[in-house]
Structures are given as structure tokens and as C-alpha cells.
A = this chain, B = another copy of it.
């Protein structure tokens, strides 16, 4: 019976490995010709927002440095997928949202991608396990989100 710190590290290592394996599998799916996985991450995050969000807010949800994200948004704006407008209430900030094209692209890429995710996860887990994994991961994410404020 492993000690608590050991167990904690084993769990984290397992999560890392699972993440890496799944990323590989999903990267191999033939759906990333129009937008890359990282770009999709941005499009998907924006697609979930009912209204425009700040770059900083987007940055909190996407694992990229602020400058890298800023430039990725440049490219997506250039390609007509994302709209970037100055925030009227705070002239420093920008407000980001999907264009109609961007939303369409997100759906076009997202549909087969979601199928791939579902295929991988449902062949591995039953409903109870899926729920357990989802809840554990949400708990971890929320705990970290709360911690970073402090």
C-alpha cells in the first residue's frame, strides 16, 4: 500500500500518460487539415462563450503563453475565423468572438473530432467510469482554478 505522496504522484503520472496517449490518437485522426488541434482548442473555447471574451480570459482556458495566444488569434483573425474588437469599456483590452465562418469551421472540425473522442472513451469505459473520471477531473480543475487566484 503506497504512501499518500506516492499515490498522488502515481495518479498524476497516470493522468499525464493517458493525456499523451489520447492526444496522439486524436492527432492521428484525419480532421486537422483545416485547423490544427491548438487552433481548434481556441475555436472550441470561443464557441462555448455566449458573448465575446477578453484575450486574458481566453488565455486562462488555453494552455499557451499570452504572446503565443495573441499571435495565434492574429492568424485566426487573418483567416476570418475570429473577430477581434477593442473593448469599448476598457481601451486596453480586446473582445474575441467567432465569426460565422469560424463557428462553421468549429462545427465542421468538431463533429468528427467528437466522434473520435467518443469512440476512444466509450470503448474503454462504461458509463459509471466515465462519470467518475469526469467528476474527478472537474474537481481537480476547479481546485486548481481556485488555487491560482490566491
- Chain A positions within 8 Å of B, measured between CB atoms, are 4-5, 7-12, 14-25, 61-63, 114-115, 117-118, 120-125, 127, 129-141, 143-145, 147-148
CB distance from A147 to the nearest CB of B (A): 7
Chain B residues with CB under 8 Å of A20's CB are 61-63, 141
Oligomeric state, in copies: 2
Is the CB–CB distance between B11 and A148 below 8 Å? no
Bound CA–CA A143/B130 (angstroms): 14
The prevalent SS among residues of A at the interface is helix
With A117-B12, A133-B14, A133-B136 as known contacts, state yes or no: A145 contacts B21, CB within 8 Å. yes
Sample of 16 more A-B contacts, CB < 8 Å, known A24-B63, A129-B139: A7-B127, A7-B134, A9-B121, A10-B134, A12-B121, A15-B18, A15-B137, A17-B137, A24-B148, A120-B147, A121-B140, A124-B144, A125-B136, A125-B139, A129-B136, A132-B132
